[in-house]
Every structure is written in C-alpha cells, then in structure tokens.
Structure 1
C-alpha cells in the first residue's frame, strides 16, 4: 500500500521543523518524489488548512514552512483528582506504608 504524498511531505516538514519551499521541493526530488508545482502548492495548502503547518512568505519567490506545535492546556482540577485517586489507592492497602 502506497503512502499518500501528503503524508510524505508532512513527514519531511516534521523532520526539519522549519524549512523553505525550495528546500522541501529539492528534498522530495532527491528522494524520488517528483510532483508538479501546482500539486505541491495544493498539498501545502491542504496541510495548512488542516492546521498542521504554517506557510509564510520570506521573499517574493520563497516561502517558509513551519510545523504547528499544539500544546494541550493542563486541566488543574483533573490533575488534582488524579493525584487524590492515586493517594487513596495507595492508602487502601493495609500495611503498605511500612
């Protein structure tokens, strides 16, 4: 089963964390993935719409591509409940504190 080119492009971006479209295109060609420029642009647009990457213009002919890092907010109440449950579980064993 072949891996979709979109996944390959995303993996390349994830490896580098930040690169230009020219560098990405050269890297894909080097690995044997020759794609048309319009298809390449569509893949980048799809990944940006999905919220996986950001694309910004550096110069007139070059774009910077960066991976989007999503940090999950820490729910303090859930953390406190989890800690309490762990302490209660540990305390439920008689003689375990010796």
Structure 2
C-alpha cells in the first residue's frame, strides 16, 4: 500500500521542522517523488487548511513551511472555571448523591 503524498510531505516537514518550499521540493525529488507544481501547492494548501502546517511568504517567490504548533495545554483559569461551574450545577440538585433514609 502506497503512503499518500500528503503524509509523505507532512513527514518531511516534521523531520526538518522548518524549511522553504524549494528545499522541500528538492527533498521530495531526492526521495524519488516528482510531482507537478500545482499538485505540490494543492497539497501544501490542504495541510495548511487541516491546521498541520503554517506557510508564510519570505520573498515574492519563496515560502517558509513549518509545523503548526497546537495548544494542547488547557488554560489553568479556564480549568478552574469549569470545575466551579460543575460544582454549582451539582449543588442545584439537593439530596442527589446522598442516601435518604425512609422511615416507616
């Protein structure tokens, strides 16, 4: 099974961390992958839309391509706010979670 071109390009960028479009193109050619420029640009655009890479223009004809950094750490204040909201919500239901004794 062949690895999709998009995955191959993403892996090359991930390994390099940051490179120009010409460097990426040369790296693909060295790996034996030759693609037309329009297909190359389309693949970069798709990766950028998916939020995996960030493409910025360095000069009129040269672009810098780098891995997009995702914010995986949750904001501490936001985390505390969510905990408070959950406590307030639970406190709105008196007697829930407590066993009531029924006397006959």
Map of 1:30 onto structure 2: 30
Report matched runs for 1:11-90 at 5 Å: 11-74=11-74
Higher Cα Rg, which structure: 2
Map of 1:2 onto structure 2: 2
| Deviation, structure 1 residue 59 | 0.5
Q: Secondary structure at the match of 2:55?
A: strand
User: Where does structure 1 differ by over 4 angstroms across 4 or more consecutive aligned residues?
Assistant: none
Hey, what's the Cα distance between the residues in 1 that align with 2:55 and 2:70? 16
| Deviation, structure 1 residue 73 | 2.2
Hey, what's the Cα distance between the residues in 2 that align with 1:17 and 1:69? 11
Q: Secondary structure at the match of 1:38?
A: helix
Hey, what's the Cα distance between the residues in 1 that align with 2:56 and 2:19? 11
Q: Secondary structure at the match of 1:42?
A: helix
Query: Structure 1: where are the runs of 5+ without partners?
Result: 78-98
User: C-alpha root-mean-square deviation of aligned residues, in Å?
Assistant: 1.5
Query: Structure 2: where are the runs of 5+ without partners?
Result: 81-104
